Amino acid sequence: MYQKIENEESLINVSVSRLRLIPFYNPEPLEISYFNESLLQKGSPDEPIVLNSIETNLKLVAIFPNVDIIKSYSYLMFDMERNNRDEYFFTLLTTIAENDIDRLFLVFQVEKGKSIELYLNENKIPLEFYDEDPNYIYYSAYVHQKGPFMVRVF
């Protein structure tokens, strides 16, 4: 890139570099880094924030806020126990304050002939029949906490 500098007769070649610095101190909690992979979301009591999942049996999480949320980031963090898709943990990471969330609506998909169980803090959460197609049965649950949840498919 060439630039003319004031009071100089000729053009001077200027080299421009962009350095990427690695911060040594991050004042935000570690979970905030996950939000770089999520989109800016907004919601209200009438319009929940919906997260879809393709990684596991969890297919959908709808966040029902009890106030209007203008700007938020939410992300589903999975922890696959022993690299096993039949037993895993997940947690909802969100910038929405816990007291601003009325409830979460979870939808799970399981192959016909298999069963699924959902736990929160070692307490089994009842799942209700939601829908069915030729290959899968869908179950749902309303919860009031963000996790961590354990899912077991057998």
pLDDT (tens digit per residue) in 22-60: 444 444 444 444 445 557 888 999 999 999 988 789 999
Count Cβ atoms below 10 Å from residue 148 Cβ, excluding itself: 14
The angle formed by the CA atoms of residues 53, 115 and 84, to the nearest 5 degrees, is: 55
Q: 84-117: b or e for each residue (b if 16 or more CB lie within 10 Å)?
A: eeeebebbbbbbbeeebbeebbbbbbbeeeeebb
Pairing of strands 128-132, 87-94: unpaired
Average pLDDT per 10 consecutive residues for the chain, totaling 154 residues: 49 47 45 55 91 88 94 87 74 92 96 95 95 96 93 92
pLDDT score, position 11: 52
pLDDT score, position 14: 47
Evaluate whether the domain defined by 40-153 bears CATH number 2.60.220. Answer: yes
pLDDT score, position 20: 47
pLDDT score, position 124: 97
Count Cβ atoms below 10 Å from residue 146 Cβ, excluding itself: 19
- AA letter at 72: S
